[in-house]
A = this chain, B = another copy of it.
Amino acid sequence: MRPKQRQLKIIDMLRRTGRVNVDELTTEFNASAETIRRDLSVLAHSGKIQKVHGGALLPSNQQGEGPFQQRMAENIAAKRIIAEKASKLISAGDTLLIDTGSTTLIFAEEIAAIKDLTVITNSAEIAKIIATVENNSTVFLLGGKYNSDNRQTLGAMLIAQLEQFHVQHTVLTVGSLNAQVGAADFNAEEAIVARAMLQRAKNSILLVDSSKFNSAGSFVVGKLEKFDQLVCDMEPDHVLKMALKEAKVALI
C-alpha cells in the first residue's frame, strides 16, 4: 500500500469516528508505528488533521458533528471517486436538485467549492454543507415530515414545493440499478421524491456505485431512458451496458 492511499483512508476513518489512534492504524495497515506517525505528520502539516498524543483528531474548525451519514457509509473510496467525477459536470452558476443519500452527500462536499450555485435539496445535511462554505451559493431546503435517520424531509408537502422549481440538473442516488426495471429504491417515500425531482430538471444525473448494479429495489424511480448521465466507479456488465446505450444514457 502506498502512502497516499493510507493517508486518504486515514482521513476517511477520521471523518467517520472523529479520532484515530496510532496503534489502531498499525494493525489496520500492517505497518509500523513510525510509518503511521509519518503519515500523520504529513497530513497535519497540510492542515487536514490535527495531531495529538497517541493519534489524531479532526482539525478544530471541522470538529464536532461531521457528516453523520458518512460515518455509517460503506465504500467511501468508490463514492468519493463518483462524486468527484460528477462534480465536473457542474459549472458555476448552475441550479441543482439533489436528493438524500450517502453518495450525494459526498457529492455535495465536492461541489461546495463551486461558486454561485443554487441548490435545492431535502437533506438538512447537504444544505448545511453547501451553505457553510463562503461561495455566494443559495440553498433551498425543502419542507416536509422530518426523518431523523437521514436528516431528510419527505412527504406530500415536499412534492408540492417541488412544482415551484425547474432546474438544470437533478442529481440522484438510488438503491439499485438494472437493465429491466431501471433505477429503483428500497424505500417507497424516497422513491416518490426522487421521481418527482426527476421531472423538474432538464438534465438528470444518476450516481451509483458498482455494488448497486443488478440488485432489485421494489420502488421504481425511473427507467433508464429517464436519465441522461450515469456516473459510477466501475464498468457495468455487458447487459447493463448495452441497455444504457439503447437508452441513450452517457456513461461516465
Enumerate chain B residues within 8 angstroms of A63, measured Cβ to Cβ.
8
A12 within 8 A of B: yes
Interface flags for A60-78 (1: CB within 8 Å of B; 0: not) read 1001100000000000000
Task: Please pick, from B18, B52, B127, the residue contacting A124 in the complex, using a CB distance under 8 A.
Answer: B127
Check if B146 sits within 8 Å of A2, measured CB to CB.
no
Complex Cα spacing A4 to B21, Å: 13
A88 within 8 A of B: no
Task: Please pick, from B3, B60, B140, B146, the residue contacting A144 in the complex, using a CB distance under 8 A.
Answer: B140
Enumerate chain B residues within 8 angstroms of A142, measured Cβ to Cβ.
143
Check if A128 sits within 8 Å of B132, measured CB to CB.
no
Task: Please pick, from B52, B139, B148, the residue contacting A146 in the complex, using a CB distance under 8 A.
Answer: B139
A30 within 8 A of B: no
Enumerate chain B residues within 8 angstroms of A57, measured Cβ to Cβ.
2, 4-5, 8
Chain A residues within CB distance 8 Å of chain B = 2-5, 8, 12, 18-19, 50, 52-55, 57, 60, 63-64, 124, 127-128, 131-132, 138-148, 151, 153, 157-158, 161, 164
A-B contact pairs, 21 of them (CB 8 A): A2-B19, A2-B54, A2-B55, A3-B53, A4-B50, A4-B52, A4-B57, A5-B18, A5-B19, A5-B57, A12-B64, A124-B127, A124-B151, A128-B148, A128-B151, A139-B148, A140-B144, A140-B146, A140-B157, A142-B143, A143-B153
